Structure 1
Amino acid sequence: YDLLRGPYLNLADESGKQLMMDHAKNLVRGLMVAFDTPSGIPDTHVALWPVNERSNASFNTLAGVGAMTLEFTRFGDILGETQYHELVHKAQLHLHDPKPASRVPFPGLSGTLVNVTDGSIIDDRGSWGVGGSAYYESLIKMYVYDPLRFYDYKERWIVAADSAMENLASIPSTAKHLTFLSEFIGNETYSASTQAACSSGAHFLIGGMALRKKKYIDFGLKLTESCYQLWEATTSGIGPDHFRWIDDRALHPGAPGNRRPPHEFRTFYDKAGFWPVGVDYTLRPEVMESVYYAWRATRDEKWQSRAWSMFKQMRRLCATRGDHVRHGWIPLSNVMALDGGRQRKGAVMDSVVIAKMLKFMYLMFAGPDEHVQANRESDNVRNKMGNRFIFNSAGHPLQVWYWEGLSNKGRVVIDAQRPGLNRAVARKKQEVGVCLDKMDGVFQPWVWWDCIKGFVDPMSLNAPKPIGPRPDDMFTP
């Protein structure tokens, strides 16, 4: 809908565009029953027909809660209705201030399972992979979507990102040039990860570009380089879904979280810096996603070459074979075999293979399209604070909230039709930015509220009012 209302305006008539929004309304209204829980944490499954009801699951995950935040917010903004953002924000509040504290072993990094009844964190096992990544991803992407309204999301992402860099970053003992993010149980880390967690490279790169912080870009490039090597090292040229390594820095070899490789993979580990835990590949798109953002962050052609290499291997091994089924991709049973092992009959090709794997592959060779992938620092897209579009966790582009008056570099943009208004708005936004900077890296909800109130009524932005009393000693902008 956003694309057809924006850069691809001429590809469909008005009825076709409205049809997409009508379908979106039907879907969202069917999903809203998921939030009808005591805590506001959404249920994991809903039935749309014959009765619209939820499954009464007892818990969800960080990712299950965070993944819908951007979509529901954008949907409500298009309609001008606050109820949709209020639903997802109520759920997010539990994750922004997770309880009990014992389930948050590292700053900003909590366990994965969330109690649907009271919003508490159930376990202390977590990672930047399945179950967690979509939540951490939503924090920085909500900020990109609207830097004023979701300033606090950015602050929480910074805490989580810095904590991951300090507590989860791990270098394999036989490959000092690689860096992976460990999993954790309590305050003990485990030298294990998944291709799903390789989306962390993309998230750090997005954060680095959005915040103009080189340390996040550099770390994102390290993670992406390491995940690409998962593919380079195997016989098939495609990486395994799950893998492990030894980190000598924090744990002695043989400790529960730092076990040695099985005998059959010891030579492989000495050379590659990891070994597969299981040898299957289920069409995970996260490495390609991070390679795409590495290209966007650097414009280095090596990332295009690597993406092409990955695509050729997938086309060789995963493309469907046979006379009757020609269009589709199938998971592999053994990435350590030259032919990828037997293709798994009856397997599922998830939509993200098209929406992420193939789309990001295409965009890397489509050129710096100003509509879909303009960098935050680009001047190609006028009147935008940052990217014009942000991709959701499933790879679909959503248009960011529209702000007039500033170019992407913060410079004043003059509209010939409304020069006086544009100058005034731009000056006010610059004042708001200075005001927010005075928080000095520590998010203070009431300061944020007063800052944006100096520019516009926060309630008109669907912005949530801070919870709790205003501190007596609070800095007043």
Structure 2
Amino acid sequence: MIARRSRVAVAFVLACAFYLFHKVVFSNSGSIGFDFVIPNDSRIQYPFKEKGIDARDAKKAEAVKEVMKRTWKFYKEKAWGFDEIKPVSGKHGNSRNGWGATIIDSMTTAAIMGLTDTFAEQYDWVVNHVDFNKPKGLVDPFETTIRYLGALVSTIDLLEAGVIPAPSPSFRQDILKQAKTLADNLGPGFDTPTGMIWPRINFTEGLGTDMHGRRNQHTIVHLARAGSHWLEYSTLSHLTGNKIYLENSTKAWDCLVFNKRGVPWPGILESPRSISTGLPIGTTRTLGAPDDSHYEYLIKAHLLVPNGPTKHHAKRWHQAMTSARKYLSSTTKSDTDPHTFLLSYSKRTYENNMGHLTCFVGGNILLGAKYLSQQSLFSFGEALIEGCHHSYASMPSKVGPESWSWMPRESHLRPPHFPGPITLPQKKMYEETGIWSTAPNYNLRPEVVESYFYGWRITGEEKYRRWAWEAFEAIVKATETEWGYSEVDDVTEVRKEGNLRDASESFWSAETLKYLYLIFEDPELCSLDKWVFNTEAHPLKRRF
């Protein structure tokens, strides 16, 4: 009888343990549960030096630097003080409130490349000429934070790390003064019931508004707008000692990160959301735009500040990427040359379309999976990078399109019959490559080479540098103009007259050229073990 009671007790304990384990690790309720331990200290970057590898390719790094120098030369000549140059006509324009986006956004690129004269000009502009109290039009807090504020706080980190000589003994207080002015003017944007930031801010009135300048209680925001401030504001609080910036950005993100409502796919939230309630208004689930950098920042927040509540962010990231592999991953039908892409989901329907912007995901997965020692996720990230490489290799110009489609192999997805290519060129491309372009333009975007950067720095595999160099040569060939480098109208065409858009956003020099340069420079420059890059490629010092 005693033995029987013991067996019953043991069975009961085991059953309870199994139930708790199942609930913690596999629950779909949205609660956090893990089958791994977050490391206190884990090396991310491949040990090039320890392996005796000279990982610097000076010739290729110099070639990228020359393109940056040419970009800057013509911007100075034709568009100085404006946000961007129009590289076909040699004219200029403002799309980022007229604060000189190209100047400020590319400060960190000039610093990293050692362009001291260029950096001195940029520094002078920031300190002596920009008035962050007077924007042209309403201010977009998302773009302003990642481009302007991110550049300013990153510049301080880079100068203090000795990456480039300081142009003035007072550099820290000079740049920090401007960063604080900008952040303080962005502050009213957080004045909502949830803390989620308004889509626009009227600096003159000190009020957050909707996209049209109205105080509409039914205003909605997508995930990236709500969750892409924390890295920049956390760094600003560290530099100033003022916690208000960290508090604002933390509250703005909390209703997403600490979401207590059950979600069908753990870690992946429906979008957009109400800024008044934090609840979903739409049904879209995607890792791509306009939700992308919310997921990107989850793991990066923990890497920036590993101690404290950011462990929760890392857990959310792990949930989201695990769910993405389970619910959004799709493979092309080809038996001989299959490729992996990411679907989007809305209104109970999958969409077999992926954008260039989504190609950041592969590199982001490598970053987080390496740190958390999650090999299955790591392999998923590698597959996504290879798929994005295929989007480049499949185009006649060898430059990837803004978006493309494929026929999914998975038979369980809805709809059961996905729309195929429509036009004759699309059908021909599909027959030859397994994908077809749905938006053939290239906007000088960085996401594919960004993932190559992470692939190279984390694995040390030469293929990522080879792919990066092929992309660099193809991009320059397709985009070069008399006055710089321009967006391309159609990458399915090899260079021809009239195929350029006369536009060049600041992320060309801030991101695309920076990632390419870092792929070929000494890997100790902005090592992933010491720096975290914001979504505009501005490196921020990790705070251990």
Between the aligned partners of 2:253 and 2:436, the Cα distance in structure 1 is 36
Q: Identify the residue that residue 539 of structure 2 maps to in structure 1.
A: 397
Between the aligned partners of 1:305 and 1:141, the Cα distance in structure 2 is 27
Q: Identify the residue that residue 33 of structure 2 maps to in structure 1.
A: none
The Cα of 1:362 is off from its aligned counterpart by 0.3
Matched ranges for 1:50-449 at <5 A: 50-56=204-210, 58-98=219-259, 101=262, 104-149=263-308, 150-174=310-334, 176-251=337-412, 255=416, 258-264=418-424, 265-321=426-482, 326-327=483-484, 329-339=485-495, 342-347=498-503, 349-369=504-524, 371-374=525-528, 387-401=529-543, 403=544
Between the aligned partners of 1:225 and 1:392, the Cα distance in structure 2 is 23
Between the aligned partners of 1:352 and 1:202, the Cα distance in structure 2 is 18
* Other structure's SS at 1:268 match: helix
Matched ranges for 1:7-46 at <5 A: 7-8=162-163, 10-46=165-201
Between the aligned partners of 2:439 and 2:297, the Cα distance in structure 1 is 30
Matched to 2:533, the amino acid is F
Change (3 A) 1:255 1:366: same
Residue by residue over 1:372-414, the C-alpha shift from the partner in whole angstroms, topping out at 9 and shown as x without a partner, is 124xxxxxxxxxxxx211000111011111x3xxxxxxxxxxx
Between the aligned partners of 1:145 and 1:341, the Cα distance in structure 2 is 46
Change (3 A) 1:340 1:292: farther
Matched to 2:344, the amino acid is E
- Structure 1 segments of 4 or more deviating over 6 A? none
Contact 1:68–1:88 (CA under 8 A) maintained in structure 2: yes
- Identical-pair percentage: 26
Residue by residue over 1:324-365, the C-alpha shift from the partner in whole angstroms, topping out at 9 and shown as x without a partner, is xx23x2111111111167344443x22221121100100111
Matched to 1:278, the amino acid is A
Between the aligned partners of 2:413 and 2:167, the Cα distance in structure 1 is 61
Change (3 A) 1:238 1:122: same
Between the aligned partners of 1:341 and 1:167, the Cα distance in structure 2 is 43
Greater mean alpha carbon deviation, residues 337-346 or residues 357-366: 337-346
Between the aligned partners of 2:237 and 2:283, the Cα distance in structure 1 is 33
The Cα of 1:77 is off from its aligned counterpart by 1.7
* Other structure's SS at 2:350 match: strand
Matched to 1:158, the amino acid is H
Q: Identify the residue that residue 44 of structure 2 maps to in structure 1.
A: none
Between the aligned partners of 1:126 and 1:341, the Cα distance in structure 2 is 39
Contact 2:350–2:414 (CA under 8 A) maintained in structure 1: no
Give the paired residue count: 379
Between the aligned partners of 2:413 and 2:268, the Cα distance in structure 1 is 24
Q: Identify the residue that residue 26 of structure 2 maps to in structure 1.
A: none
Q: Identify the residue that residue 151 of structure 2 maps to in structure 1.
A: none
Between the aligned partners of 2:268 and 2:177, the Cα distance in structure 1 is 38
Q: Identify the residue that residue 136 of structure 2 maps to in structure 1.
A: none
Between 1 and 2, higher relative CO (CA 8 Å, sep ≥ 6) is seen in: 2
Matched to 1:335, the amino acid is V
Contact 1:61–1:114 (CA under 8 A) maintained in structure 2: yes
Between the aligned partners of 1:120 and 1:15, the Cα distance in structure 2 is 46
* Other structure's SS at 1:277 match: strand
Between the aligned partners of 1:232 and 1:12, the Cα distance in structure 2 is 43
List runs of 5+ in structure 2 lacking aligned partners.
1-155, 212-218
Residue by residue over 1:90-115, the C-alpha shift from the partner in whole angstroms, topping out at 9 and shown as x without a partner, is 121211244765xx442211222121
The Cα of 1:209 is off from its aligned counterpart by 2.2
Contact 1:292–1:303 (CA under 8 A) maintained in structure 2: yes
Matched to 2:520, the amino acid is F
TM-score between the two structures when normalised by the length of structure 1: 0.75
Q: Identify the residue that residue 408 of structure 1 maps to in structure 2.
A: none
Residue by residue over 1:120-144, the C-alpha shift from the partner in whole angstroms, topping out at 9 and shown as x without a partner, is 1111112111111100011000010
TM-score between the two structures when normalised by the length of structure 2: 0.66
The Cα of 1:188 is off from its aligned counterpart by 3.2
Between the aligned partners of 2:171 and 2:306, the Cα distance in structure 1 is 31
Change (3 A) 1:28 1:63: same
Between the aligned partners of 1:219 and 1:342, the Cα distance in structure 2 is 39
* Other structure's SS at 2:408 match: coil
Change (3 A) 1:340 1:302: farther
The Cα of 1:185 is off from its aligned counterpart by 0.9
List runs of 5+ in structure 1 lacking aligned partners.
375-386, 404-477
Cα-Cα RMSD: 2.0
Change (3 A) 1:42 1:341: farther
The Cα of 1:246 is off from its aligned counterpart by 0.9
The Cα of 1:89 is off from its aligned counterpart by 1.3
Between the aligned partners of 1:338 and 1:368, the Cα distance in structure 2 is 34
Change (3 A) 1:281 1:345: closer
Contact 1:36–1:42 (CA under 8 A) maintained in structure 2: yes
Between the aligned partners of 2:348 and 2:296, the Cα distance in structure 1 is 22
